[in-house]
Amino acid sequence: MAKQATSKKNYIYPLVLTVLILYMAYVTLMNLFVDPQATVFLSRKIDLKRPMNLPIWLDVMHIHVGAACLAMLTGILNFSQTLLRSARKFHRVNGYLYVIAVFVVVLTSGYMAPYTTGGKINSVAFNLVSMVWFAMTIAAIVQIKRKNIIKHRKWMVRSYLFCFTNLFIHLISFILYEGAGLKYELSYTMGVYGAILLNFILAELVIRFVYRKTPNVAVQANRKEL
Ligand code: HEM
């Protein structure tokens, strides 16, 4: 039975890694090569309350996408138990890279939030996410400085789930807009709030069901190295 549970967990990581690599490739391809001017996305901003400097917005959005991909990549690598066991220094350096990437994503989000599709209701949501996401990431760092590995991992799971925000927003708004026939702005707003809710719920599910019995690798190894 225990063996079965272990083998089940063994394929979760490669599966998530594969999905993420495909998603990162898709996001980079679409936003930097296929539609670098974001024509499809911008065509839906029909009721902007303030003028937008398009060249600056596009530059910021491209930095946002680059930093988001870096956050996704560095984050997923640090969930590898194999890497954690064999390359502790890599885990640490890569972890700080993740923090920097998250910081750049929230900084660029702060610039784009006032012009968000759907208006103020979504600007507020994005700005709250920025604060909460960064705070959760810092909480993970604080916990590892205190050598509390379990809490470090929990906060990292919570933080990392926010890397899926854009994916969930587009998934939910696509279903509501194309499937249920709702107006685009309403679908997008429900996508934003639905994504935030999903991030929190999925993080708690991962903590409870995926990491419930995972051995505390770092405790078994040399704790001082962390
Ligand atoms: C880490 C994964 C993320 C990726 C891959 C990503 C990607 C993108 C992309 C491609 C856009 C351009 C519009 C679109 O096609 O959606 C965008 C817009 C935006 N993103 Fe992100 N994003 C991520 C996370 C976040 C997070 C966590 C926040 C909030 C803190 C955020 C805030 C924003 C804002 C405010 C916009 C402008 C939305 C609008 O104009 O309506 N993003 N993002």
Q: For 110-161, what is each residue's pLDDT tens digit? A: 999 999 999 999 999 999 999 999 999 999 999 999 999 999 999 999 999 9
Confidence (pLDDT) at 50: 82
**Can you state the angle between helices 149-161 and 120-145, rounded to 10 degrees?**
160
Point out the ligand 1 atom lying closest to the alpha carbon of residue 127.
30
CA separation, residue 13 to residues 71, 77, 191, 204 (Å): 17, 10, 26, 17
Torsion sign over Cα 174, 39, 130, 203: positive
The minimum-distance atom of ligand 1 relative to the CA of 170 is 16
Q: What is the pLDDT of residue 213?
A: 64
Q: Model confidence over 19-71: pLDDT tens digits?
A: 999 999 999 999 999 999 999 999 988 777 788 999 999 999 999 999 999 99
* Ligand 1 mutation pick, 42, 103, 166, 199, max ligand atoms within 8 A of CB: 166
Percentage above 70 pLDDT, the chain:
90
Task: Judge whether residue 7 has pLDDT over 90.
Answer: no
In sequence order, what E strands does the chain have? none
Q: Whose CA is nearest to atom 35 of ligand 1?
A: 113
What is the 158 CA–ligand 1 centroid distance (Å)?
18
CB under 8 Å to 175, separation ≥6 — which residues?
none
Report the nearest-CA residue for atom 15 of ligand 1: 41
CB atoms within 10 A of CB 156: 23
Give the number of the atom of ligand 1 that is nearest the alpha carbon of residue 126: 29
| Coil vs helix vs strand at 55 | helix
d(CA 12, CA 17): 9
Ligand 1 atom 1: residue of nearest CA: 163
- pTM for the predicted model, two decimal places: 0.90
Nearest CA to ligand 1 atom 19: 109
For a pocket test of ligand 1, which of 109, 161, 192 has the largest count of ligand atoms closer than 8 A to its C-beta?
109
Q: How far is the CA of 25 from the centre of ligand 1 (A)?
A: 16
Centre of ligand 1 to C-alpha 136, Å, is 18
Distance CA 219, CA 226 (A): 10
Q: Which atom of ligand 1 is nearest to the CA of 65?
A: 7
* Mean pLDDT over each residue of the chain, to the nearest integer: 91
Separation of CA 141 and ligand 1 centre (Å): 24
Percent of the chain past pLDDT 90, that is, above it, reads 81
Q: Are 78 and 159 in contact (CB under 8 A)?
A: no
- Residue whose structure tokens are 């679409």: 30
Instruction: Examine the pLDDT at 214 and tell me if it is beyond 80.
Output: no
Domain spans in the chain, listed from the N-terminal domain onward? 2-44+51-156
| Distance of CA 14 from the midpoint of ligand 1 (Å) | 25
Instruction: Specify the range with the lowest mean pLDDT, choosing from 10-19, 91-100, 158-167.
Output: 10-19
Taking CA atoms, 101 is separated from 63, 74, 188, 192, 220, in Å, by 10, 9, 25, 21, 29
Residue 2 confidence (pLDDT): 46
Instruction: Determine the residue type at 27.
Output: V
- As to burial, measured by CB atoms within 10 angstroms (0-12 exposed, 13-18 middle, 19+ buried), residue 31 is buried
- Dig out the tokens for 58 from the structure: 């596009």
